Structure 1
């Protein structure tokens, strides 16, 4: 039940940082825009903000109440049978326009 501080650097980390903000912690600005002093403030806030601490605690309780291994195996089995082998997943992925995207942050490092 501990909150996390996430500093996105590249690709899907920006989206994952948004999920962390929603679920169990604090997302900082991207690494290129972050100072050590600001990082210290984010870490301190994570350790003292009752809302962040409470949300992380509730998420931990929820995770501990489910059989994650069983649920994960069931999900992956269903995904492989119903989505991947049927070709449905690939068709949806292709139609979505996802793939390599400039807004994933790669342009900063190439």
Structure 2
């Protein structure tokens, strides 16, 4: 006869692990570690270590200088590709600026930008 595993309530298991009960229930169900007898949900005590291992985040690769250099080179190449369109945009801006009329009359431009409401009579 096999030994019957000790089943913990969600509250007991959550308390042991120091995590919220609802989160533990969700993760235990997703990973197949939840035992349900109708509405009563239990987690086998001997499976807690396995549950922890399944939830462990993979180690991140250390950042290196070469990654930063590659990213900088990639951004420089995109800037080089964008250069012709920037030059076209600047040329269009200059052309439109030259063809537009000023909003101030030539005589009032010297008077600190004040536009007279009525034409001056001489």
Larger Rg: 2
Question: Do the structures match in fold with TM over 0.5?
Answer: no
TM-score range, shorter chain: under 0.3
Bigger RCO (CA 8 Å, 6+ sep): 1
| Structure 2 length-normalised TM | 0.21
Give the structure with the larger helix fraction. Answer: 1
For normalisation by structure 1, the TM-score amounts to 0.23
